[in-house]
């Protein structure tokens, strides 16, 4: 299993300035938040596809597909269940579903998925060193940037030790199946060792960091260097244009379920 | 004159610790000197190292007192990062010391923190990678490296801060034999270049690089002396939880001095004195090893395993394990040992081929059910311990199998007795020592009363006394009729305890058979980058592959 979410492969996005990528990510989030109609979301997804190819984001998506689908599906179900406005379409027991509710839920699930996907494209093409370099250049203090970047590094480490712990408990007769409550209960024998081994790892890591001069008062230098190039400006220009379009549509009342200002 | 390290009356108690971790420790070390620190687990070795760059008391809270000078400078009140360019610390857990996506970035991390300019940084990175022989690895992802390479990279990333003193805290403990030798060779090179070195190690092979060895006990220095003299004193070493070199044990038992630690040279001394093993004694030893084997219990048939990443971890392994066997599976990391044994109870499913247990094919769906017949103890006891009472931890498996309360109580008592933890039902496992937690992990698998017990590196990270304790326990379980399968890097341990050995390399089984038979073929072991234990190497020179020091003593004492 790969220890990183970052995909170790040359790509167009990999060579871009990390600060530019961070701003671009924020800009596409703004675009996505302007609209919520599923059809418009699908149009935005059409833009996401080349981004996925240029950044190897699809490779990371393939690795996390179940988590990704679960999050999108959960979002859909929640919005569809709790949106009351609009004409009722059908009912399941006491819960009735409306046309607007379904549309709104579909739009929101697509939007959440889209934002997650852009996030994946970013993570897949940005090693953690580039991430904290980019954040520092944007004025975020180094310790904060470093801690944030490192959290991405720790996710796969924790999931690896969780897998080992699951095997250990299964060998002692633990059954992870049955109804959701029983399942939740059976995760207790896993959570304690996972939590403790994570704590131990973080403790060791912080010792190793300090012993290598982390936190020194001198101004930190950087071995990696990026220069803002025409490609970076191009990316930012495209993202700004996208924002302008989405904001314009929103002002004109397009792209949202139920017209002006949403449902 | 500038002294490298000078400590006076160091005392430290961890905030929640029961006793003093350091109890008035005095210590002195000259520049350019290499000192080995050894002693039982909990003797204070690691705590002392953590004081040297003030991780104690800056990060580990507790009561700290005493005076400490590094390079003749009092360091009280200093920050850890200020000391980073004077003393470099390499830890046991190499995974946690690396966090970059490219090797050179891990090395650059220290110089970046010091705010060095590009030119100086480039020089430091080049020098540090060259010092550990990894210049060609600079663009590699650290996660793709072997354990030994990772630890060498961790050493380079500390060297890049150009510290005069290098301290190694059990830096080879988690490595396979090949990785250990790589790291030890780096340490020897650093010593040759005149660096001041501190090595904390349980193994005599690691301590041998030191000029002087200090033994710690109860948080202070018990005794100190030249390395060759200290390593020639088996009684003192054993009393302090350190494994003595096997040749030192042999010479001492036969009352021959001076001790020669190198097996080849030792054999020459015996030959020069015209001393050869007694033929009758050898016949007895060989006869004792002939044990009738039981019926076939597990049959591994053309087993192949390909991980989802495409890595072919097993390539057609055949193996027969019979009831009552004590099998040691040996080989380097990545040779397929763990993948192989995880098929035996269904933790992994075969890509091709399969495993038959008692005539029935083992499948992944059967893991939790098979736990009653095949117990699996994982390498790290902390990956399974989760209860706050020893009793509940041990009762977890029998409860899962739906046994009645009185039955569970009986099983737990029996299991705890077997592992030497009787009557400790109410203790908190997290407050126990690593050795005790390892034995508790074994008890918590034994309580399901399995006939087969698989253990993945059961002695890693334990001191000599604890290692023997765990292995004596397994020997006892084996005598009671249980089949024992261990994965181990520790060949002397396999030689002393196992009845059979299987050698893995590159996903293939190179050979399996009786331990004596396997260990008397150094050329096959060499293919797996393994070398037989010292006593066996000595024995092969003398014409008979000894597995234990006692065997050599009994065969030689009449003649010497």
pLDDT, tens digit (0-9, with 9 covering 90-100), for B184-203: 999 999 999 999 999 999 89
Element (H, E) at A46: helix A38-55
Q: Among B390, B376, B27, which Cα is nearest to B215's?
A: B27
Q: What sections of A187-251 are H helices per DSSP?
A: 188-210, 230-251
Q: For A218-259, what is each residue's pLDDT tens digit?
A: 889 999 999 999 999 999 999 999 999 999 999 998 888 865
Cis peptide before A178 (omega within 30 of 0): no
Q: Among B413, B432, B410, B409, which Cα is nearest to B423's?
A: B413
Q: Among B461, B554, B405, B432, which Cα is nearest to B203's?
A: B461
Res B18 pLDDT > 80:
no
Among A10-14, B79-83, B285-289, the range of highest mean pLDDT? B79-83
Position A2 scores a pLDDT of 45
State how far the alpha carbon of B251 is from the alpha carbons of B224, B225, B265, B502, B552, in Å: 22, 20, 12, 31, 10
Return the minimum-mean-pLDDT range out of B110-119, B308-317, B546-555. B308-317
> In angstroms, what is the C-alpha Rg of chain A?
22
Position A1 scores a pLDDT of 36
CA angle B349–B352–B353, rounded 5-degree value = 90
Task: List the structure tokens of B335.
Answer: 């040779």
Q: Among B205, B207, B154, which Cα is nearest to B177's?
A: B205
- Interchain contact B397–A (C-beta under 8 A): yes
Tokens 């009729």, located at residue:
B481
Question: By the 8 A CB rule, do A170 and A142 touch?
Answer: no
Strand partners, B374: B452
Q: Do A197 and B81 touch (CB under 8 A)?
A: no
Residue B445 is nearest to which of A3, A167, A172, comparing CB atoms?
A: A172
Residue B112 is nearest to which of A191, A206, A222, comparing CB atoms?
A: A222
- Interchain contact B139–A (C-beta under 8 A): no
Position A57 scores a pLDDT of 87
State how far the alpha carbon of B524 is from the alpha carbons of A242, B461, B497, B503, in Å: 66, 27, 21, 9
Per the document, the length of chain B is: 560
What is the average pLDDT across B521-545? 94
Greatest pairwise CA separation for chain B in angstroms: 74
Q: For B153-185, what is each residue's pLDDT tens digit?
A: 999 999 999 999 999 999 998 888 888 999 999
- B-chain residue closest to A194, CA distance: B383
Other beta carbons within 10 Å of B300: 24
Res B501 pLDDT > 60:
yes
Q: Do A164 and B383 touch (CB under 8 A)?
A: yes
Strand partners, B483: B452
- B-chain residue closest to A142, CA distance: B113
What is the average pLDDT across A81-92? 80
- Interchain contact B428–A (C-beta under 8 A): no
CA-to-CA distance for B234 and B255, rounded, in angstroms? 12
End-to-end CA distance of chain B: 49
The strand pair at B87-90 and B3-14 is best described as: unpaired
The alpha carbon of B196 is separated from its chain's Cα centroid by a whole number of angstroms, namely 25
What is the average pLDDT across B51-68? 92
Task: List the structure tokens of B106.
Answer: 């891990």
Q: For A153-212, what is each residue's pLDDT tens digit?
A: 888 778 888 888 888 888 888 877 667 777 777 777 888 888 888 888 888 888 889 889
CA-to-CA distance for B10 and B275, rounded, in angstroms? 50
How many A×B Cβ pairs under 8 Å? 177
What is the average pLDDT across A23-28? 96
CA-to-CA distance for B223 and A101, rounded, in angstroms? 79
Other beta carbons within 10 Å of A39: 13
pLDDT band (50, 70, 90) for residue B94? confident
Task: List the structure tokens of B455.
Answer: 């253990």
Position A262 scores a pLDDT of 42
CA-to-CA distance for B58 and B53, rounded, in angstroms? 9
Position A91 scores a pLDDT of 80
Q: Do A171 and B376 touch (CB under 8 A)?
A: yes
Res A106 pLDDT > 90:
yes
Q: For A36-54, what is each residue's pLDDT tens digit?
A: 899 999 999 998 999 998 8
Task: List the structure tokens of A243.
Answer: 């924002």
CA-to-CA distance for B151 and B179, rounded, in angstroms? 8
Res B417 pLDDT > 60:
yes
Task: List the structure tokens of A123.
Answer: 């993570």
Q: For B340-350, what is each residue's pLDDT tens digit?
A: 999 999 999 99
Question: By the 8 A CB rule, do A229 and A222 touch?
Answer: no
What is the average pLDDT across B365-371? 85
Q: What is the mean pLDDT of chain A?
A: 87
Return the SS3 of B287: helix
Name every residue whose Cβ is closer than 8 Å to that of residue A155 and which is 6 or more positions away in sequence.
Answer: A5
Question: By the 8 A CB rule, do B25 and B219 touch?
Answer: yes
Res B219 pLDDT > 60:
yes
Position B25 scores a pLDDT of 96
Q: Do B82 and A165 touch (CB under 8 A)?
A: no
State how far the alpha carbon of B298 is from the alpha carbons of A31, B320, B346, B374, in Å: 61, 6, 12, 11
Cis peptide before B57 (omega within 30 of 0): yes
> In angstroms, what is the C-alpha Rg of chain B?
25
Return the SS3 of A99: helix
**DSSP per-residue string spanning A182-195:** HHHHHTHHHHHHHH
Strands of chain A (E only): list them.
Answer: 88-92, 95-98
**DSSP per-residue string spanning B135-198:** GGGTTS-GGGS-HHHHHHHHHHHHHTT--SEEEEESTTTTS-HHHHHHHHHHHHHHHHTT-EEE
Residue window 172-231, chain B: list those with CB within 8 Å of chain A. none
Of the residues B109, B434, B443, the best mutation for testing chain A's interface (the one with the most A CB atoms within 10 Å of its CB) is B109
pTM for the predicted model, two decimal places:
0.87
Residue window 355-374, chain B: list those with CB within 8 Å of chain A. 367-369, 371-372
- A-chain residue closest to B96, CA distance: A205
Position B559 scores a pLDDT of 58
CA-to-CA distance for A25 and A28, rounded, in angstroms? 5
Sheet holding B220-226, edge to edge: B87-90, B165-169, B196-200, B34-38, B212-217, B220-226
Position A260 scores a pLDDT of 44
Burial B322-356 (b: 16+ CB within 10 A, else e): bbbbbbbbbbbbbbbbbbbbbbbbbbbebeebbbe
The alpha carbon of A21 is separated from its chain's Cα centroid by a whole number of angstroms, namely 14
Position B229 scores a pLDDT of 94
Residue A173 is nearest to which of B58, B161, B448, comparing CB atoms?
A: B448
What is the average pLDDT across A109-138? 94
Q: Do B53 and A211 touch (CB under 8 A)?
A: yes
How distant is the Cα of A154 from the closest Cα of chain B, in angstroms? Answer: 9
Return the SS3 of B18: coil
Helix axes B118-131, B147-159, angle to 10 degrees: 140
Of the residues B52, B96, B104, the best mutation for testing chain A's interface (the one with the most A CB atoms within 10 Å of its CB) is B96
CA-to-CA distance for B227 and A185, rounded, in angstroms? 54
């Amino acid at each position: 299993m790969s220890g990183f979410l970052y995909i170790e492969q040359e790509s167009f996005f990999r060579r871009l300035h990390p600060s530019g990528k961070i701003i671009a990510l924020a800009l596409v989030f703004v675009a996505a938040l302007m609209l919520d109609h599923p059809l418009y979301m699908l149009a935005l997804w059409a833009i996401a596809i080349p981004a996925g190819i240029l950044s190897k984001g699809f490779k990371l998506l393939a690795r996390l597909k179940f988590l990704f689908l679960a999050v999108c599906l959960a979002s859909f179900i929640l919005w569809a269940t709790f949106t009351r406005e609009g004409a009722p379409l059908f009912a399941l027991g006491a819960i009735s579903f409306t046309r607007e509710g379904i549309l709104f839920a579909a739009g929101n699930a697509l939007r959440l998925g889209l934002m997650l996907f852009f996030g994946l494209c970013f993570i897949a093409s940005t090693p953690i060193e580039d991430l904290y370099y980019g954040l520092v250049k944007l004025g975020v203090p180094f310790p904060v940037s470093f801690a944030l970047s490192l959290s991405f590094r720790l996710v796969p480490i924790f999931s690896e030790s969780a897998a080992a712990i699951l095997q250990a408990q299964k060998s002692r007769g633990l059954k992870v199946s049955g109804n959701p409550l029983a399942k939740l209960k059976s995760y207790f024998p896993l959570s304690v060792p996972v939590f403790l081994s994570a704590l131990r790892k973080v403790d060791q890591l912080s010792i190793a960091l300090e012993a290598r001069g982390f936190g020194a008062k001198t101004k930190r230098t950087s071995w990696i260097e990026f220069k803002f190039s025409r490609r970076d400006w191009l990316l930012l220009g495209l993202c700004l244009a996208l924002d302008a379009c989405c904001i314009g549509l929103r002002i004109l009342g397009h792209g949202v379920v139920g017209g002006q200002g949403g449902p | 004159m500038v002294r490298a390290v000078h400590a006076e009356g160091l005392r430290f108690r961890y905030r929640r610790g029961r006793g003093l971790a350091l109890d008035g420790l005095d210590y002195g070390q000259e520049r350019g000197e290499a000192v080995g620190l050894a002693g039982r687990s909990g003797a204070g070795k690691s705590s002392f190292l953590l004081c040297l760059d003030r991780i104690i008391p800056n990060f580990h809270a507790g009561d700290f007192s005493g005076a400490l000078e590094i390079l003749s400078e009092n360091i009280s009140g200093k920050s850890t990062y200020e000391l980073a360019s004077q003393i470099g610390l390499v830890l046991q857990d190499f995974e946690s010391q690396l966090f970059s996506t490219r090797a050179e970035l891990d090395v650059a991390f220290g110089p970046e923190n010091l705010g060095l300019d590009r030119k100086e940084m480039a020089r430091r990175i080049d020098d540090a990678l060259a010092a550990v022989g990894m210049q060609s690895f600079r663009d590699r992802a650290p996660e793709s490296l072997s354990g030994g390479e990772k630890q060498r990279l961790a050493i380079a990333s500390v060297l890049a801060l150009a510290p005069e003193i290098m301290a190694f805290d059990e830096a080879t403990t988690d490595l396979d034999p090949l990785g250990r030798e790589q790291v030890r060779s780096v340490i020897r090179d650093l010593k040759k270049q005149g660096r001041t070195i501190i090595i904390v190690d349980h193994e005599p092979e690691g301590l041998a690089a030191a000029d002087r060895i200090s033994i710690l006990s109860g948080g202070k220095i018990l005794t100190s002396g030249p390395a060759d003299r200290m390593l020639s004193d088996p009684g003192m070493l054993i009393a302090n939880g350190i494994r003595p070199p096997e040749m030192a044990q042999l010479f001492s038992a036969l009352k021959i001095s001076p001790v020669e630690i190198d097996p080849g040279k030792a054999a020459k001394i015996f030959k020069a004195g015209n001393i050869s093993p007694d033929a009758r004694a050898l016949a007895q030893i060989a006869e004792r090893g002939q044990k009738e084997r039981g019926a076939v219990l597990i049959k591994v048939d053309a087993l192949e395993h390909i991980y989802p990443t495409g890595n072919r971890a097993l390539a057609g392994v055949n193996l027969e394990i019979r009831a009552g066997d004590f099998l040691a599976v040996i080989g380097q990391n990545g040779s397929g040992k763990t993948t192989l044994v995880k098929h035996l109870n269904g933790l992994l499913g075969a890509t091709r081929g399969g495993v038959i247990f008692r005539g029935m094919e083992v499948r992944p769906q059967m893991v939790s059910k098979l736990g009653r017949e095949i117990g699996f103890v994982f390498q790290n006891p902390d990956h399974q311990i989760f209860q706050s009472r020893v009793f509940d931890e041990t009762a977890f498996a029998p409860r899962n199998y739906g046994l009645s309360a009185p039955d569970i109580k009986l099983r737990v008592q029996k299991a705890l007795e077997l592992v030497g933890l009787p009557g400790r039902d109410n203790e908190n496992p997290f407050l126990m020592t690593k050795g005790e937690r390892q034995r508790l992990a074994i008890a918590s698998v034994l309580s399901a009363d399995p006939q087969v017990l698989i253990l993945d590196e059961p002695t890693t990270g334990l001191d000599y006394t604890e290692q023997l304790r765990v292995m004596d326990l397994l020997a006892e379980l084996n005598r009671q009729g249980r089949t024992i399968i261990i994965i181990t890097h520790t060949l002397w341990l396999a030689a002393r305890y196992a009845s059979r050995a299987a050698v893995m390399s590159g996903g293939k089984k190179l050979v399996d058979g009786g331990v004596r038979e396997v260990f008397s073929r150094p050329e096959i072991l060499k293919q797996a980058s393994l070398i037989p234990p010292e006593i066996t190497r000595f024995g092969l020179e003398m014409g008979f592959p000894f597995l234990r020091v006692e065997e050599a003593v009994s065969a030689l004492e009449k003649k010497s």
